[in-house]
Structure 1
Amino acid sequence: MPKPRHATEPDWPYGTFLQRLTPAARTALLDLGVRRQVDAGQIVIHEGGRESYLVLLEDGLTKVTAGLPDGRTALLALRIGGDLVGEMSALNGRPRSATITTCGPTRYSVIRPDRFKLYLRDQPDAALELAAMVSDRLRWSNRRRIDFTGYSVKVRVARVVAEMCRTHGRQQRDGVVIDVRLTQPELASICGAAETSIQKALRELRGEGLLDTDYRRITVRDLTGLRRSAHIDPDVD
């Protein structure tokens, strides 16, 4: 019988909710829900839905999307194993603000809101980390809004790719491979730009030797140069 993940893989990705928790709080949370495993393309949370359960991602990659007034879909964020999603509806009872869709085989736990609230009462440090996580996500959202008005498309693309290196990158001998299969329309959505502008920005970044692109994959050849092109302070992690 396989051991649970928290017994065999204690290192969760940096910045995820599980990584923020103490070992005791992490174990308690992992034991709280009902585990499920699904394939790619499955919707685990529907925008506008009235249900209020939380989803604790344990393995896999998901996309956070929301519908736009013109009928298009905006890619808001990516969430990976260790992340918690659906917390807003669980805590305030409002309809879902976004859709969560799996990008590949995904394992996750479904947690009832009443159980989660009891967990937060029993684990006050986890409640503080939840507040910190929500604050970080709000900061990221605000930063993206500033990027849309204050930077060129090329800088925006560089900033998004540099952030994805930090959260989803895998170091290899020839660079940092971003293990996220994003289409150019999806990258355009998260950068707030037209697809033709994204193509031009990627072409320029490739020409400068900062990155390579192939079928839905980005390899960053020069992360320091990319961060410089993204106007990211070298002292900011």
Structure 2
Amino acid sequence: MRSAGTRRRFAPGAVIWSQGEPSQHVFVVLAGRIRVSTGSVAGREAMVAICGPGEILGELSAVDGRTRSANVAAVDEVEALVVPAARLDRLCEQQPRIAWAMLRVLADRLRQSDRRRGEYTDGPAAHRAVALLLDLAEQYGQPVAAGVEIALSISQQQLADTMAISRESLARVLRELRKRGLVDTGRQRITVLDLEGLRELGEHQA
């Protein structure tokens, strides 16, 4: 893969590609984190995933030649390997293990998508919010003195859209979690103060 691609860097917040754009390249994340989200006709944007080093993006469009199915932006400074789709096609013919590895990536993402759809979009707003916060904290949180900080440059509106609830409903849930001493919130930042307490709350809600 490295021999077939070129390295590119993206500044924090940079849009790497937008949903609906034509696709000619596959990206392999070498450093940093990338946010994947989908938009709707109403202008809402729901987060799909955060991808880090070693993950591949754009493989679906490379396979079927269709336009990008999601928006992709850098969370922090990102270095990525950019591989033209035509070169990837030749690589897969020469090295079938690459094609098999990509198939496993697609299968894993489908399973994750099914799991998240059930956890984030079913049940009361509080259940959805706690499930999402636990997932974000455990997968992408950074340990800080106060607890675990989720700093992914995601607005409360985007989080609410991810859970298919209103921003007002999310604000009420976060207010209650703050009262319980479980989280602290700031601009595009949420700190989980008591991860174990949040887990227990999630189990109680399940």
Q: CA deviation at 1:140?
A: 2.2
For 2:174, the equivalent position in structure 1 comes to: 202
Q: Could you list the per-position Cα deviations for residues 189-232 of structure 1 after superposition, in whole angstroms to 9, with x for gaps in the alignment?
A: 21211000111111112222222212222221222221232239
Alpha-carbon distance change, 145 to 206 in structure 1, aligned in 2, over 3 angstroms = same
Q: Could you list the per-position Cα deviations for residues 49-82 of structure 1 after superposition, in whole angstroms to 9, with x for gaps in the alignment?
A: 2223101122223222222122333332222333
Alpha-carbon distance change, 186 to 150 in structure 1, aligned in 2, over 3 angstroms = closer
Query: SS at the partner of 1:109?
Result: strand
Aligned runs of 1:50-199 on 2, under 5 Å?
50-199=22-171
Tell me the distance in 1 between the aligned counterparts of 2:61 and 2:197. Answer: 40
Q: CA RMSD in A?
A: 2.2
Q: Could you list the per-position Cα deviations for residues 35-56 of structure 1 after superposition, in whole angstroms to 9, with x for gaps in the alignment?
A: 1112233322222222231011
TM-score norm. by structure 1 comes to 0.76
2:44 and 2:161 in contact (8 A); partners too: no
Identity %: 31
Matched AA of 2:88: F
Tell me the distance in 2 between the aligned counterparts of 1:63 and 1:230. Answer: 25
Alpha-carbon distance change, 149 to 86 in structure 1, aligned in 2, over 3 angstroms = closer
Alpha-carbon distance change, 30 to 220 in structure 1, aligned in 2, over 3 angstroms = farther
Alpha-carbon distance change, 123 to 227 in structure 1, aligned in 2, over 3 angstroms = farther
Query: SS at the partner of 2:13?
Result: coil
Q: CA deviation at 1:136?
A: 2.2
Tell me the distance in 2 between the aligned counterparts of 1:123 and 1:217. Answer: 42
Gaps of 5+ in 1: 1-28, 233-237
The range that moved more, 167-176 or 193-202, is 167-176
Gaps of 5+ in 2: none
Counterpart among 195, 217, 220 of residue 189 in structure 2:
217
Question: Aligned pair 1:37/2:9, yes or no?
Answer: yes
TM-score norm. by structure 2 comes to 0.86
Q: CA deviation at 1:127?
A: 3.5
Matched AA of 2:10: V
1:53 and 1:110 in contact (8 A); partners too: yes
